[in-house]
Structure 1
Amino acid sequence: MIRDLGAAWRLTWRAGPWSASGQLLCAIVGGLLPACGVWLTKLIMDGIATGRSGAELFTWSAGLAAVGLTGAALSEFTRYLRGQLSRKVDRLVQARLYAAVCSFQGLSRFEDPRFRDRLQLATQAGGGLLEPATTGLFTLGGSVITLVSLLATIFVLSPAMAGLVLLAAVPSLLAQMALRKRWAGAILEITPANRRHLFYTSLITDVPAAKEIRLLGLGAFLRRRLLGELDTVHAGERRIDRQEFGTQILLSVLGGAIAGAGLIWAIQGAADGRLSIGDVSAFIAAVAGAQQSLVSLVSAIANAYQALLTFAHYCYVTSLPDDLPSPAPRSERAMRPVMRPLREGIELRDVWFRYDEAHPWVLRGVNLTIPYGRSVALVGLNGAGKSTLVKLLCRFYDPTRGAVLWDGIDIREVDPAELRDRVGVLFQDFMSYDLTAAENVGLGDLSALDDRTRIERAAHEAMIHTSIEALPHGYETLLSRIFTTEQDKDDPTTGVIFSGGQWQRLALARTLMRADRDLLILDEPSAGLDAQAEHEVHAGLRRHREGRTSLLISHRLGAVRDADQIVVLSNGSVVERGTHDELTATDGVYAGLFAIQASGYRASDVPASP
C-alpha cells in the first residue's frame, strides 16, 4: 500500500507539479480560515455584549467577511486546479497503462480472464479516481489543520470536550476503512459479471451482429442475458450499500450525541456565568466545525484507501514482466542474436503446444521445414492446429516443448518485434479498421502509411484498387458509419461499408504492404471471396509467391496444388507431406479430402434434374 501511494504521488507530481503545488497552498490557507472565522465571531459577539466601539466591531466584521470571501475564492481556485491536474494525470495514466499493454508481445495474457478483470479495474485508475490518494490528501491536510485549530479553541474552553470530539473519530475511521476494503473486494468479485454485461451491451449495438440478431430473433434473449448480468452487478453493490447505510446511521447518532452533550454543557456554562455569549457561540461553532472536519478527514482517508486499492491493479498491470521472456538474463539481452535475412529456412523441431496444463495438446511433435525460397501449404480439418502453428511462427506463444528455428536460431533468442518485422501475415480472423481505405492498407507497414504509391500498388496486387477508386472520396473514404454526426448522417459520402469479400481483399492488400519480407503467411486468403475473385486472387498470389518463402493455409485444396510441398495436419500432428501429385497418388488423408472436394464439380456426382 505504501509503495502504491508513493507511485501515485510520483505519477501525479510528474503530470502537473504546478497544479499540485497550488492545491497544497490552497489547502494550507483554507485549513486555517475556519478557526479565524470562529475567533472573529467570538470577538464580535463579546464586543456587542460589552459595548465595544463601532470601529472595533467594523474591523472584526470586515475581517470575518474577508475570511468568507477568501474561502470562496480558494474553493473555486482549488476546483479549477483539480480539474487541470485530473486531466493531466488521466492522460499520463492512460499513456503508461496502454504502453504496458502494448508491450506484451504474446497473446496469453489477453486470453486470461483474471488478467482481463484486473485490466478493466486498471483502466479506472485515471485522474478522477486516483485523485483521493494524491491531491485529495491536500484536502486531508487542510482538514487536519482546521481540526487542530478548532480543537485548540474547544480545549481552551473545555479540555474534556476536546478529547471527546477527538476520540469519536476513531470508530468512524475504522468503520470507513473496513467499508472501503469490502467495497474493493466486492468490485473485484463483480468485475466478471460487469465485463459480461459490457459484452452483451456491445453485442446488441454492434453493426456486424445486427443482421443475425434480427434474423434469429436474438434481441430478447440477449437482453435477458444483459439484464441478468446487470442484476448480479447491482446485487453486489446493494450488499455494500446496506452495510454502509447501517454503519453511517450509527456514526451519525454518535456525532449527534456528542454535539448535543456539548450544547448542554455550553448552555449550562452560560447560565452559571462561566462562559460569555461569545464563548458559547465560539464553542458551538468550533464543535460543529471540528465534527465536520473529522467527517472530511475520515472520508478523505477512506477514499484514499479505496483509490489505492484500485490503483494497485494499475500498478500490477504496468509492472508485469514480458510475457514472452528471453532465456538470456536482462543484462545479457544486448548479446541476443540479430535477426538477419532468411537464407536457409524455418524449421519446427519436435514442437508440442498446449495453452496450459488444463487444456489438451493442440500440436503434438510437429516437425516441419519451410525451405528458403519455397512455398509450403498446410492443410487439414478444422481444429487440426493450423492457425495455432501460425501463432507460434509469429511468436505470439512459445512452444511448450521443442523449438522454432530461423536459419538454425531459436526464435526465443531474438526480439519478437524484429522477428515480426520480417514476416507478412494475413490472418484468418483479420481486422476491419474503422479508418480510411488508405489507412486500412497502409497499416501493413507504418513506415509507408503516407506512401500512396506503395499503398496503391498493394491494392492493385490484391485486386481491390478499382473498388477503392470507385468510393466517394477514393482512398480517403472512411470505411465506417460509426463516426458520423447528426449533421452528416444522411450524407452517404461520410462513410462506406465494404462487403465481406472486399474487406478480405483489403486485408490482403495490407499484408502485401510487407511483400518484401522474408516470410509470407496466408491463412485462408480467399475464404470470403466468390469463385471469380478467388481464382483471380490465387492466380495473383501464385505469381507473388514464386521464389518467395511462404506458408499457405487453405481448405480449398485446388489453391494449394502448386505448392512446392503440401503438409497435412491431423489432430495436431503431421500425417502426410509431399507434392500434390505425390499425395493424390496415395490413399491418404489429402487424397480423400481432394476427392471429396472434386466430387462436387463432376457431373456424374450431381443429382439429375427431375
Structure 2
Amino acid sequence: MTADAPRRRLRRSFGAAMRLGWQASPGLMLASAGLMAVASALPVAAAWASKLLVDGLAAGAVSSSRLSLLVAAVVGLGGIALLLNHLGGLAAAAQQRAITIQAEGRLYAAINAFPGLRRFEDPAFRDRIQHAERSAQVAPRAVTDLAFSLVRTVVTIGSFLAVVVAVWWPMALLLAAAAVPAVCTQATLARRKARTSEATMAQSRRRLQYQMLLTDLQAIKEIRLFGLGVLFQQRIAAALAETSRRELRTERGAALVQVALTLFGVVVTVAGAVVVVTQAAAGRLSAGDVLLFIAALGGVQAAFGGSVVQLASVGAVLYLFEHYLEVLAARPDLADGQAVPGPLRGAIVFEDVWFRYSEQADWALRGVSLRIEAGVATGLVGVNGAGKSTVVKLLCRLYDPDRGRITWDGVDLRDLRLAELRSRLGVAFQDHMTYELSAAENIGVGSVAHLADRDRIVGAAARAGADEPIAALPRGYDTMLTRLFSMDGPGDSGVMLSGGQAQRVALARSFMRDEAELFIHDEPSSALDALAANRVHEELEALRGDRAAVVISHRLAAMRTVGRIVVLDAGAVVEQGTHDELMSAGGAYARMFTAQAAGYQDERVDGPARGREGIAHGMATMGHGAGVPGVVHQWVQR
C-alpha cells in the first residue's frame, strides 16, 4: 500500500458517505446546513456589538438610546443564534433518520443479492459484513454531522479570523501554526483507531457469539445441563480483556498526543492575548478591541477544537466505512443465468460432479454422476458425511460444482435464471428453521406470493400433519412461534414447538409450493413418531405425482417406495438401483438395511396370531413409514 492509499481511502469514504446523505434527503441537508451557517455567523455580530458597547461605555459619549440598542443587539443576536441552532438540529435529526434508512436498506439489499452461501462461510467476509453493519448505522450520520460542523466552523472561524487580523494580524499565523499539526495528528490517530477496530473484530464477534449462546433458547438446555455458563462467561471476559487491552493502548497514545496539542494551543493563545493586552495598556487598542480579540480567540479555538476532535472520531469511522462500500461492491458468489427453465420433462443429471467447500477442505463430492428422472422419486442413502446434503445444496444451486455440471433437461443449471429455478423447487431441509413469526407465516413463507392465502396455508399444514397441533395453540395459526417477542404484553408471549411439530411446520412450508417440479426432502421424518412419519411419507407419495423428487432418510424403509436409490460413500456413488436390485446385490445398501432391520427381529412380538405369522402381520400393519423394513416381513415368512 502506498503512502497516499490511506488518504485516498479516506477521501473515497467521505465522498461516498456525503453522497449517501444527499441522496437520502437533499432538502433536509440543505436546510440543516443553511440554518447552521446563519447561526454560526450571528455570534460574530454579537461580539462586534459587544465591542461597540464596551467602547461606548468607556468613552462616556454615547447616548442611552444607542447603548440600549447595542445591548438589545447583543442579547437578541445570541437568542436568534440559539433558536436557529435548535431548528438546524431538528432538521439534522430528521436527516440522520433518512440516512439510516437509506444506508441500511442498501446494505441489506446487497447482502440479499448474494445468491449462494460461500460469502457467509468466509470468516474474513463475515467480519467485513459486521464492520459494514456498524458503519452503515454510524458513518453516514457521522459524516453529515461533520459536514454540518465544518459549515459552522468555516463560518465561525472565517468571521472571527477577520476580527483577529483586524486587531493583530500575526495572531492568524500563530493559530495556523497550531492548527496544521493538530489536523495531521488527528488523521493519523483516526487510522490507528480503525486498524485497532479491524484487528479486534474477530475477538468481538467471538464474544458476541458466546453472549448470544448464554441467552439462546436452543442452547440454554445444554448450557444448564453441562454447566457451560461459567466456561462461556470466562471466554467472554477473556475476549473483552484482549480487545480492551488493544483499544486502551490506542486510546492512551491518542490521549498523550491530545495533551501535547492542547498545551501548544494554550501557549499560542496566551502569547497572543499578552501582546494584545500590552498594546491596549499602551493606548494603541481600546478595551472593546481586547474584548473582541479574546472573544474571537475563544470562538476560533472552540470551533476548531470541536471540529478536530470530531474529525478524529469520524476519521476512524470512515476507514471502517470502506467495509460498507466493499460489501456493496462485492460481486455475487454465483453468476445468474439468462435462460428460463422449462417444465421438467426428462431429468436432472449430475455429470462427473466434483465439489468441495473450500480449497483447503477435502472433496465433498468426487465424480458424482446420477439421474433424477421426472415422475420418479430418487432416494439418497449413505452414512453421515457421505455427501447427501451436498447434493441437495447443489440441486438448489446454493453452490456451483468445481468440476462437471448439473443439467435441467439438458441445460446447465448455471445457464438458468436462479430465481426461476428455485421457484420450481419445494424443499424441506434437515436443519430447517422456525422463524420468529406466526404459525401461519412460518408456513406461508414457503410461497411468499401466497402468504395471505389462509386456505392454502391450512391445506399445506393438513398435508404435513401440522393442522391439529397448530389449531390447538392459544391463537391457532396466529400464534407466534417464539418466546422472544410478546404479542399484547409481557404476559402474552408465543410458544415454542416440539422438534416433531417444528419439522411438520417445515414440511408444510415445502408443501406451499404444490406447483413445484422437483421436491427435495432431507430427513423429512427424523423428528416424527412412527405413525406421523408414516402419514408424512404417504403425503409425499401423493404429492409427487409425475414430478421429480429427492428423498434423504436414514429410515431405510422409506426407500422401498422410491423408484431409484443412489448410495453415496465418501462423496462418490457406489451403488444405484431399486430396493430389490440393491438387496439382491448384497452391497453397502443391503448391509445398512439388514443392520437396521435386525432391531425389529423379535420372536416375542404378539399380534392377532402368534409366532412368525403374528410378526408378519404386525410388520405389514405398521408399514414402511413406521421404520419397519419390509425385509423383516420377508424374514418371518421364511
TM-score normalised per structure 2: 0.91
Partner of 1:401: 403
* Structure 2, unaligned runs of 5 or more: 1-8, 606-638
Partner of 2:491: 490
Partner of 1:44: 53
Mapped contact 2:465–2:504 kept (Cα < 8 A): yes
Instruction: Describe the shift of the 1:605–1:124 C-alpha distance in structure 2 as closer, same or farther (beyond 3 A).
Output: farther
CA distance in 2, matches of 1:605, 1:9: 80
Mapped contact 2:352–2:369 kept (Cα < 8 A): yes
Amino acid paired to 2:98: K
Amino acid paired to 1:287: L
Residues 171-570 of structure 1 aligned to structure 2 (within 5 Å): 171-326=181-336, 336-484=338-486, 488-491=489-492, 494-570=493-569
- How far off is 1:34 after superposition? 2.6
CA distance in 2, matches of 1:288, 1:238: 31
Partner of 2:43: 34
- How far off is 1:297 after superposition? 3.1
Mapped contact 1:86–1:127 kept (Cα < 8 A): no
- How far off is 1:540 after superposition? 2.4
CA distance in 1, matches of 2:521, 2:604: 32
CA distance in 2, matches of 1:372, 1:541: 15
- 2:214 counterpart SS class: helix
CA distance in 1, matches of 2:276, 2:137: 45
Amino acid paired to 2:534: H
- How far off is 1:157 after superposition? 1.7
Which shows bigger deviation, 125-134 or 388-397? 125-134
CA distance in 2, matches of 1:436, 1:530: 24
Which shows bigger deviation, 268-277 or 217-226? 268-277
Mapped contact 1:137–1:300 kept (Cα < 8 A): no
CA distance in 2, matches of 1:383, 1:204: 29
Mapped contact 2:193–2:250 kept (Cα < 8 A): yes
Mapped contact 1:89–1:126 kept (Cα < 8 A): no
Mapped contact 1:426–1:508 kept (Cα < 8 A): yes
- 1:221 counterpart SS class: helix
- 1:403 counterpart SS class: strand
- 1:537 counterpart SS class: helix
CA distance in 2, matches of 1:112, 1:212: 28
Partner of 1:330: none
- 1:585 counterpart SS class: helix
Mapped contact 2:353–2:403 kept (Cα < 8 A): yes
Mapped contact 1:599–1:605 kept (Cα < 8 A): no
CA distance in 1, matches of 2:476, 2:311: 58
Larger relative contact order (CA 8 Å, sep ≥ 6) = 1
CA distance in 1, matches of 2:112, 2:458: 29
CA distance in 2, matches of 1:102, 1:585: 49
Query: Once the two structures are superposed, what CA deviation does each residue of 1:36-88 show, in whole Å capped at 9, x if it has no partner?
Result: 12211211111110012211111111111122101211221122112111111
- How far off is 1:128 after superposition? 4.4
- 1:350 counterpart SS class: strand
CA distance in 2, matches of 1:224, 1:515: 50
- 1:490 counterpart SS class: coil
Amino acid paired to 2:546: G
Query: Once the two structures are superposed, what CA deviation does each residue of 1:268-306 show, in whole Å capped at 9, x if it has no partner?
Result: 212222221111111111112111122123234434433
Instruction: Describe the shift of the 1:605–1:295 C-alpha distance in structure 2 as closer, same or farther (beyond 3 A).
Output: farther
CA distance in 1, matches of 2:139, 2:20: 13
Partner of 2:581: 582
1:5 and 2:14 equivalent?
yes
- How far off is 1:532 after superposition? 2.2
- 1:600 counterpart SS class: helix
CA distance in 2, matches of 1:147, 1:515: 70
Identity %: 43
Partner of 2:27: 18
Which shows bigger deviation, 435-444 or 290-299? 290-299
Mapped contact 1:437–1:476 kept (Cα < 8 A): yes
State the number of aligned residues: 595
Which shows bigger deviation, 230-239 or 419-428? 230-239
- How far off is 1:145 after superposition? 1.6
Partner of 1:70: 80
Name segments (4+ residues, structure 1) moved above 6 Å.
none
CA distance in 1, matches of 2:244, 2:559: 54
CA distance in 1, matches of 2:229, 2:603: 45
TM-score normalised per structure 1: 0.95
- How far off is 1:217 after superposition? 1.0
Which shows bigger deviation, 498-507 or 283-292? 283-292
CA distance in 1, matches of 2:396, 2:550: 12
Residues 88-99 of structure 1 aligned to structure 2 (within 5 Å): 88-99=98-109
- 1:270 counterpart SS class: helix
Partner of 1:329: none
- 1:550 counterpart SS class: strand
- How far off is 1:340 after superposition? 0.9
Q: CA RMSD in A?
A: 1.7
Query: Once the two structures are superposed, what CA deviation does each residue of 1:316-353 show, in whole Å capped at 9, x if it has no partner?
Result: 11121221024xxxxxx7xx222111111100000000
- How far off is 1:125 after superposition? 2.8
Amino acid paired to 1:29: V
Amino acid paired to 2:155: I
Amino acid paired to 2:258: Q
